[in-house]
Chain A
Amino acid sequence: MDVRVEGLIKRYGQVTALDGVSQTFPAGALTAVVGPSGCGKTTLLRCLAGFATPDRGQVWMGDRNVTHLPPQSRGAAMVFQSYALWPHMTVFENLAFALRLRKVPRRDIERRVRETLELVELDRVPDIERRRPRQLSGGQQQRVALARAIVVRPQVLLLDEPLSNLDAKIRHRVRVEIRALQRRTGITAIYVTHDQEEAMSIADMVVVMEGGRTAQAGRPEEVYAHPKSPFVAEFLGSTNVLAAVVDLDGRILASPGGTLIVRAEDIQLMPSGDIPPPGSAWADGEVVDVLFLGAGYRAYVRIGDEVVMADHRTSLPRGPVRMAILREKLFTFDRATPQSNR
């Protein structure tokens, strides 16, 4: 079931949280909505869930206009950032809550709770149904939250920063599990996160938001490789934004009129005076600092008034250096029209 929003506008007092968002979230896919805090991604999710009513615009689920339907009539279920598992109820009661509201017969409730716990691979935890959320680990609580959402068999699963309360290590594992679960069930999932790496690794499609609008949407690889604006380029990687242009010889020159965007991983560093590879843009600078990142090193190179991050396999001495970037890895934007000119 496709989920579609058209011209969504939502204001909270003076603040415009959504400023005309139109976007389709394809059926059966996992779409990540990503952006910095305050970009409107959570408001968008709340409008989809039915916890917020847009001031203008429509929300469609399949061929139904659900803009004014209450949450339970939309066929969508939500996983909350804090999980919001009711602490006074057991895992069974947490899952059964929605089923009881829907007047599901008692025997079916027991069966469906069991099946759902199997689906999120909690069935092997001893006595899981009778435990309370407090007695579970963070990762287990996360899975119960997921189970509570899918026990009603929603057609759309909404996830609000579902991993932000987990340790870095568990986060990677649960991420893979959520992805596997989504594939297995074929559910349409919309996943809000502020973590671009998480978004790109998990999603079929990424929607980058900025200031209440969609900045760019597409497959992760595509958005990463072809950012449509400096904002998107900057948001999706360790990216340098320079006020500069490239002249006819390939030299990078400071210029307040132009914007050059280059990723740290795309920069090649070489002794100053070396000839840059063909098809490169280049500039001379000075290494001012080097950080060890584990897998490699990150050099901070001063070029004119600006400092550029550049990744390098080995450590470098401070001092003069030349950096080169393949032209196709370089994004240039005019200040006036922030569109890619490449």
Chain B
Amino acid sequence: MAGSATPNMRDRPRGLSTLVFRAALVAVLLGAIVGPLAGLVLWSVAERWHWPAMLPQQIGLKYWIRITQGDLLTALNRSVTIATVTTVAALVAAIPVSYGAARARLPLGPVLLMLFLLPQAFPQLPVFASATVLFYRWNLAGTFAGVVLIHMVGGLVYTVWTMTAVFRAIGEDVEEAAINLGASVTRTFFRISLPLAFPGVVASAILVFIYSLDEFTGTLLVGAPYVTTLPVYMYTASLGYELQIASVTALVLMVPGVLLLVLLERFLRAEYLAFFGRL
């Protein structure tokens, strides 16, 4: 057969060229992904930095120390509190919807699912601007509750969709077996379905928590002027051209996300997101 004389290295799993290519790929990715973030680290410790020096002329923790005194800590605290409340609320509100939709007990389930996607698939700013006007009328603007509400609007899709997929993956026969053995429907749900869904619950909780932590648009509009979360704080700092303060804030803002990424990466499988394409 033609071509048999030249063994093709491409299909050999550990050919030298493959290894070189893969190493180059990882190096390029590393540069492209870590590069911009490395700039943040440099700026956060740069007390004096003039072009074209490779590194800041004077390095120090001056700006890092300032955060322990300033209102950055307050903003961080508020961000985490809001994210926690939003996550719990979004989980509790989502479970009946997801379970009902997954088991086809909820009429119009698929339509409802699309409804939750809307805030992520549609321009948020104009809607949130309009929501702020309404929230003023209801005395929700500038309040903790108002910000949680606006975070839930964008965050519910993560819990509802992820858990629908997870409940669907748990076969109905497992539940029927329990009911058949005399367990009540409620008991079956709490003792069988929910424990089996645990990884999915964790995955969706991570997604909402991070979404809430990072949420900027809604908070900027609805939260103003009293509720300042970390992203809003950072924006204000960068407005005053305080590059260092903004960089320190940016790094602090990344900590929870990176922590969760490292600790819980195994919960965030591509498989959980594949359902986005199947709808």
Contact = CB atoms under 8 A, between A and B. Distances in A.
Q: Do chains A and B touch in the complex (CB under 8 A)?
A: yes
Interface residues of A, number: 14
Contact of A64 (B4, B8, B10, B11): B4
Contact of B13 (A53, A69, A73): A53
Contacts of B8: 69-70, 72-73
- Classify the interface of chain B: helix, strand, loop or mixed: loop
B1 A69 contact: no
A69 B7 contact: yes
B3 interface: yes
Contacts of A74: 1, 4
Contact of B2 (A68, A69, A102): A102
A267 to B, nearest CB: 41
A68 B1 contact: no
B278 interface: no
B7 A72 contact: no
A292 B10 CA distance: 58
B266 interface: no
A246 B1 CA distance: 57
A155 B1 CA distance: 9
A70 B12 contact: yes
Interface string B1-21: 111101110111100000000
A71 interface: yes
**What range describes how many residues of B lie at the interface?**
10 to 19
A75 interface: yes
Contacts, number: 31
A69 B2 CA distance: 13
A154 B12 CA distance: 21
A20 to B, nearest CB: 23
A328 B235 CA distance: 93
A175 to B, nearest CB: 28
A68 B6 CA distance: 11
Nearest to B9: A70
Contacts of A72: 3, 8
A315 B188 CA distance: 49
Interface string A71-84: 11111000000000
A75 B13 contact: no
A70 B1 contact: no
A111 to B, nearest CB: 18
A102 B13 CA distance: 22
A70 B7 CA distance: 7
Contacts of B4: 64, 69, 73-75
Interface string A216-258: 0000000000000000000000000000000000000000000
A68 B13 CA distance: 11
A73 B12 contact: no
B216 to A, nearest CB: 41
Contact of B7 (A73, A75, A102, A154): A73
A328 B11 CA distance: 53
Given A64-B4, A69-B4, 6 more contacts: A53-B13, A68-B12, A69-B7, A70-B8, A75-B1, A155-B1
